[in-house]
Amino acid sequence: MSTQTVIVGGGVSSLRLAERLRRAGDEDPITIVSAEQAIAYDRPPLSKSVLLDESAPRPDLTSTEELEALGVRIVAGRRARRLDRPGRSIELETGEVVPYDDLVIATGSTPRRLPALDAVDPHYLRTWDDALALREAVHRCARVGVIGGGVLGLEIAATAQALSREVLVIDAAPHALARLGSHDLGRAVTDLHRGHGVHFRFDVTTESAVKHADGTITLNLSDGTEEIVDVLVVAIGAVPVTDWLDGSGLEGGDGVDTDASCRTIDERIHAIGDVARIEYVPGGHRRLEHWTNAGDTAAVAARGILARRRGETRPELTELPYVWSDQYDVKLQILGHIDAGSSLLSAVEDPETGRWLRLATRGHEVTGVVGWNMPAAVNRCRAALMAGISVDELLRSTPWERKARR
């Protein structure tokens, strides 16, 4: 008897899961239910090359032909609105009921809104349609205001700056990238942007905004000052999409909780990608909004689904968290864990090229690495980090010399 896998969400994690199941020899029916019409296009270029180049096409990760060859049934442009766990089915907004044997929640995340600014209808960036609207606006204005100095806000700022727009970034924190917790990194990135002419307003929030007849927007800041921009983008983080799970027992909290196998409290339901809050270590759940995490979690969930059916032991996620960000000519990479409790120890500083590599440490343990235009070195640290190598061992095992921080 065949078993039906239903994947809710049509992003990169969903596509990777279907591919992984097929690659592992699963010939049973797979259905992808997607709120968007387009299945699995790439989001990272939306704040970079797509925003920069008015002729850049949608960065599709697959095609109708490839999905057909994969033998996946696509239900596009329809949102799942309810999960019925006892009945093992989901209900779509059209009323259609789709039964499942295994369900994968891959509904991603959506931009956090700033209701105080609804009156001026600011831009948010998540989808292809969002990107088209923002691109159109940025290419036809002089001044861009970005609320939020996180990774996404800074990428938008860098692209707008590359288009010679006047750019202002506003953030409630004292420096950029505050959510990552590292002051050193935040300052380095802030300096990079200032060097390119981006203006910052830190330690202030935007209380309200007014749109004028000529389209310009006045922002009223918490310190009583005003700023005027032509285009306003809000990039203050994202929230997991779990509204359709209300009443299922899987809702609540920041995403869908899973164990290290991406399995929820229901053995027939996995959660992957941005929406999943995964137990990396016992008792330590974490939700990652990273492209690589989408693929890693999809791979583990696919193997877990097949393991359940075959009565085998389920695999666990062993991959390290990894995120990259391209801003100007800098590739910033963060591998492993870095948070407010981490100290950053300099492993490489190259004053000529400006490249550097820093180790995030807790006591004698290396928990992560941060690279600034050092992709090969970051990659070389991967195995060492996974092996739980100590700071001294890692520094000894590389050709890099420990240098005094400046």
Ligand X SMILES: Cc1cc2nc3c(=O)[nH]c(=O)nc-3n(C[C@H](O)[C@H](O)[C@H](O)COP(=O)(O)OP(=O)(O)OC[C@H]3O[C@@H](n4cnc5c(N)ncnc54)[C@H](O)[C@@H]3O)c2cc1C
Interface with ligand X (CB under 6 A), residue total 36
Give 34 or 342: the residue with its C-beta nearer to ligand X. 34
Give 193 or 394: the residue with its C-beta nearer to ligand X. 193
Give 79 or 183: the residue with its C-beta nearer to ligand X. 79
d(CA 58, CA 239): 24
d(CA 402, CA 346): 7
Query: How many other CB atoms sit within 10 Å of the CB of residue 401?
Result: 10
The verdict on 19 binding ligand X (CB under 6 A) reads no
Confirm if 325 and 344 have CB atoms less than 8 A apart. no
**Measured CA distances, 280 to 97, 224, 260, 336 (Å):** 34, 44, 6, 11
The verdict on 261 binding ligand X (CB under 6 A) reads no
The verdict on 80 binding ligand X (CB under 6 A) reads yes
Identify the residue among 125, 217, 347, 369 touching ligand X (CB under 6 A).
125
Q: Shortest approach of ligand X to residue 281 CB, angstroms?
A: 21
The verdict on 274 binding ligand X (CB under 6 A) reads yes
Q: In which residue are the tokens 């057909």 written?
A: 68
Confirm if 29 and 4 have CB atoms less than 8 A apart. yes
**Measured CA distances, 151 to 286, 332, 361, 369 (Å):** 18, 10, 22, 17
The verdict on 273 binding ligand X (CB under 6 A) reads yes
Identify the residue among 31, 107, 159, 367 touching ligand X (CB under 6 A).
107
d(CA 61, CA 171): 33
Nearest to 20 by CA among 245, 341, 294, 354: 294
DSSP symbol at 178: G
Q: Shortest approach of ligand X to residue 399 CB, angstroms?
A: 28
Amino acid identity for residue 33 in this structure? V
Identify the residue among 22, 79, 88, 309 touching ligand X (CB under 6 A).
79
Give 273 or 336: the residue with its C-beta nearer to ligand X. 273
List the structure tokens of 243: 């509204």
List the structure tokens of 336: 């492993």
Give 335 or 347: the residue with its C-beta nearer to ligand X. 335
Q: Shortest approach of ligand X to residue 15 CB, angstroms?
A: 8
List the structure tokens of 93: 């907004």
Give 9 or 371: the residue with its C-beta nearer to ligand X. 9
**Measured CA distances, 72 to 195, 301, 353 (Å):** 48, 17, 48
- For β-strands 102-105 and 5-8, DSSP reports them as parallel
Apex CA 237: angle with CA 233 and CA 243, to 5°?
A: 110
Q: Shortest approach of ligand X to residue 105 CB, angstroms?
A: 9
Site string for ligand X, 82-101 (x = CB under 6 A): --------------------
Q: Shortest approach of ligand X to residue 102 CB, angstroms?
A: 17
Identify the residue among 34, 206, 258, 333 touching ligand X (CB under 6 A).
34
Query: How many other CB atoms sit within 10 Å of the CB of residue 260?
Result: 17
Confirm if 90 and 98 have CB atoms less than 8 A apart. yes
The verdict on 286 binding ligand X (CB under 6 A) reads no
Site string for ligand X, 47-66 (x = CB under 6 A): x-------------------
Give 130 or 184: the residue with its C-beta nearer to ligand X. 130
The verdict on 33 binding ligand X (CB under 6 A) reads yes
The verdict on 12 binding ligand X (CB under 6 A) reads yes
Identify the residue among 100, 128, 291, 372 touching ligand X (CB under 6 A).
291
Give 339 or 365: the residue with its C-beta nearer to ligand X. 339
The verdict on 296 binding ligand X (CB under 6 A) reads no
Judged by the rule CB under 6 A, the positions of this chain that interact with ligand X are: 8-14, 33-36, 43-44, 46-47, 79-80, 106-109, 125-126, 152, 241, 244, 273-274, 289-292, 294, 323-325
